[in-house]
Amino acid sequence: GAVVSQHPSWVICKSGTSVKIECRSLDFQATTMFWYRQFPKQSLMLMATSNEGSKATYEQGVEKDKFLINHASLTLSTLTVTSAHPEDSSFYICSAYPGLDNSPLHFGNGTRLTVT
Amino acid sequence: DAKTTQPPSMDCAEGRAANLPCNHSTISGNEYVYWYRQIHSQGPQYIIHGLKNNETNEMASLIITEDRKSSTLILPHATLRDTAVYYCIVPRYNNDMRFGAGTRLTVKP
């Protein structure tokens, strides 16, 4: 149980275009979903927290107009990287919280974005 | 977050127990300790979590000291597939997981 599906697993796009990444909780409802970014040889960095039906909360230094997050249902959150540039190339990972006290987060398998 | 400190790297022989330490001396009374691992180019995998009692599941055991200022994750019989970066996290809230540098465990044949 507790499977989080992330799609696509990898994507290559041209500079200036936008890319949407989907994160789905397959067998549970996620009250909160999180988006992380990971550069090579670094740890995961939290980008934003999204609660279903409300605006996402972004971490300091993360541009909310560039990284659009939509959490329209309890099983789906999307991250759109707008006007992507080569420096946005990274490994993007989502996680979902079932909403039960002290339950762990469940993570997707990540999306590797390469902007050319 | 309660800050956690982990050694940057460790080696372990295949078939032996891997003991990964974590220091969390500023942990508060109601904060849990969570362990995740990340195998190269994959999303983090949940391993185990605990509050103050020792915990065991099919993957690992978690030993938390009585004062709760440190813990040890034990993989009883490490295999090559256990080579990964292991993260010890004490979140501020139930669900606010922020990752430090972790410990890179290399299991050697």
The pLDDT confidence band at residue B2, using thresholds 50, 70 and 90, is low
Contact call for B41 and A110, based on CB within 8 A: yes
pLDDT value at B9 more than 70 = yes
CA distances from A62 to A37, A88, B54, B68, B103 (A): 10, 11, 38, 34, 26
Average of per-residue pLDDT across B13-24: 97
Which residue from B41, B87, B94 is facing A101, i.e. has the nearest CB? B94
Q: Which of B38, B50, B23, B15 is nearest to B87 (CA)?
A: B38
- Chain A residues lying within 8 Å of B96, measured CB to CB: 46, 49
Query: Mean pLDDT, consecutive 10-residue segments, chain A of 116 residues?
Result: 92 97 94 94 94 90 95 93 97 92 91 98
Interchain CB distance below 8 Å, A93 and B44: yes
Nearest by CB: A104 against B42, B49, B101:
B49
